[in-house]
Amino acid sequence: MSNSSLLVNVENWITENQNAFLPPVCNKLMHFSQLLIMFVGGPNTRKDYHIEEGEELFYQLKGDMCLKVIENGKHKDVHIKEGEMFLLPARIPHSPQRQANTVGLVVERRRLRTETDCLRYFVDNTTDTLFERWFYCQNLGTQLVPIIKEFMASEQSKTGKPDPSELFMQVLKYPPFQLNTMNVMSPFSFKDWLEKHRPSLSSGKPIDMFGAQFETEVIVFGPGLTDTTVRQSDVWIWQLEGSSKVIQTEKEFTLSAGGSLLIPEHSQYQWKRDNGTVALCVIQNPERKRP
């Protein structure tokens, strides 16, 4: 991976790739590494629900979206408005619904070899399974299409009724994990959150936005120094205000407002943040995975 592909100005990158956010693709990966950093547009409405063993971070940059979820056996619409952030827990069925002229950040991680994803359709107005496929996810963008096409051509799609024999076989073999029973959080304004925590950030105290109960670390940093360290997972930094410098072995990256940097897993780095810095740092380490 070249240095230029690691260091990206987010706003410029979105502008350069704006056609990718239109149908039929509607999304573009900025980074395809241990972290999957992607931006998603619309319109894109769907009936399938995705289930995975990791978490997903949503940050809606332009326009609103609706994330349909199954929360403790009931359908629920999570409305994520422009400027709002939301962390989806692992093992919760979800189906993103996006409108035209919208763009949102989504962050998830590479799957462990032991993990399995599922694409599931429900019988209308119920939480009964109509059709599902379990698979090891290497590239969701390419792997979903054949499953969706298989469903569209199936008897289940035509009749709206499940195939009892297929469901019986699925029960024998799957699911490899139980669905999450926790209630999802309410989306919140990142701008409002930031203003509330500016005094702490200005004093040099970083803040973990979601806490130890989640695998995902979303840490906001103010000025200061992160001394030489090594993370076992990718680290993605988005410099929102001010400037900073990341120093690696024989490499040095200067981040100004709007710039972002992917630090690959197992990399040693030091991070010097100037006064006036506000930077978002995202890490998804599966060793923090919650049962």
Nearest Cα residue to 95 out of 44, 46, 161:
46
- Residue 108 in marked binding region: yes
71 is in an annotated binding site: no
111 is in an annotated binding site: no
* Residue 241 marked in a binding site: no
Q: Would you say 195 is a known binding-site residue?
A: no
Asked whether residue 288 is marked as a ligand-binding residue, the answer is no
Binding-site annotation, residues: 46, 50, 56, 94, 98, 108
Binding residues for Fe cation: 50, 56, 94
Which residues does the annotation place in the binding site for substrate? Answer: 56, 98, 108
Binding residues for O2: 46
